[in-house]
Amino acid sequence: MIKVKINGQEQSWDGDPDLPLLWFLRDEAGLTGTKFGCGQALCGACTVIVDKEAVRACITSINDVAGREITTIEGLHPNGDHPVQKAWRQVNVPQCGFCQAGQIMQAAALLMDNPKPSHDQIREAMSGNICRCGCYQRIENAVHLASTGV
């Protein structure tokens, strides 16, 4: 039996220990905010925060995060008012929105690590997250806004 803490709640799993965390979250735990975009750590759509680090849930097995604390987009802030979320709305970042949970989690992890990133540091830290709609200019601006106070 594998135990994990997701958004503050204990969850357990006694199926395949190799099951990617992404599918545990989406299909078993019903937390569909975390998205599937590539399955190979190439797009960032599945980004969650494990302890304090941004992690690609699609290549992380449930076994790898046993006993760890996982935060998904649903748990980032109780009212959805994390500075990154607020900045995202202020800048009207999303188009289709499908990549955005991953982008927001990546940005939140970046700001934990580096509260005042430069534009170049933002671009570098966010470069693992693809937005096929092409919201990059706004993503960059929103991360900058979140870091300077919304």
* Of residues 42-61, those binding another protein (CB under 8 A): 42-43, 45
In a 3-state reduction of DSSP, which class is residue 26?
Answer: helix
Q: Binding string to another protein for residues 111 to 140, with x set by CB under 8 A, is what? A: -----------xxx-xxxxxxxxxxxxxxx
Instruction: Kindly state whether residue 142 participates in binding ligand FES, applying the rule CB under 6 A.
Output: no
Residues 6+ apart with CB under 8 A from 145: 87, 90, 91
Instruction: Kindly state whether residue 61 participates in binding ligand FES, applying the rule CB under 6 A.
Output: no
In a 3-state reduction of DSSP, which class is residue 130?
Answer: coil
Stretch that binds another protein, among 63-71, 100-108, 109-117 (CB under 8 A): 100-108
Tokens 């929105």, residue located: 97
Q: Which pairs with CB-CB distance under 8 Å and at least 24 residues apart come from 114-121?
A: 115/147, 116/147, 116/148, 117/143, 117/144, 117/147, 119/144
Q: What's the closest the beta carbon of residue 128 comes to ligand FES, in angstroms? A: 7
Instruction: Kindly state whether residue 43 participates in binding ligand FES, applying the rule CB under 6 A.
Output: yes
Out of 86, 133, 140, 141, which residue is the one contacting ligand FES (CB under 6 A)?
A: 133
Instruction: Kindly state whether residue 110 participates in binding another protein, applying the rule CB under 8 A.
Output: no
